[in-house]
Copies of this chain bind each other. A is one copy, B any other.
Amino acid sequence: MVLLTSNPIDVQTVLKSVATPGSGGIDIFIGTTRDHSGGRAVTSLEYEAYEPMALREMERIERQARKKWPLEKVAIVHRLGSVPIGEASVVIAVSSAHRKQAFEACRFVIDALKKEVPIWKREHFADGTEEWSGQRNLTLNDKSIIGN
């Protein structure tokens, strides 16, 4: 199950979506918005996606995980729009007969999501400024000043 939503993510619902009678272990990763980033106070975050492609990439990552591990169910849910501090921006849940596979697959999915899925985070700072997260590297690599 893959989902993009502008509503708060209900972890209990995600958990239910992966619970099966054959599951011995479920690993859930919850990414939450932190109140600081690079030493600066953050007041809120905003996420934008290239939605149809993001869903395709999420499905591709689920298929990759299922090839690597014998899994029961996989759920990948990402929130879009504004996300207040402390709320979940992403929830990954993986069920498997044994816990080792659930842990490894869950970590694989969040790592792959962060690398591959076209979603972007914009940070709003307490000092009133805002910027697209992770674009500082872009500008450093390319010796330009975009995105700072």
Contacts and interface: CB of A to CB of B under 8 A. Distances in A.
Contacts of A35: 21-22
Interface string A77-102: 00000000110000000010101001
B15 A24 contact: no
A136 interface: no
Interface in A37-64: none
Contacts of A24: 31-32, 34
A107 B103 contact: yes
Contacts of A19: 32, 86
Contacts of A97: 34
A105 to B, nearest CB: 12
A29 B30 contact: no
A65 interface: no
Contacts of A27: 27-30, 106
A25 interface: yes
19 contacts: A11-B12, A15-B30, A19-B32, A19-B86, A22-B34, A22-B36, A24-B32, A24-B34, A25-B31, A25-B32, A26-B31, A26-B32, A27-B28, A27-B30, A28-B30, A29-B99, A32-B95, A34-B97, A103-B103
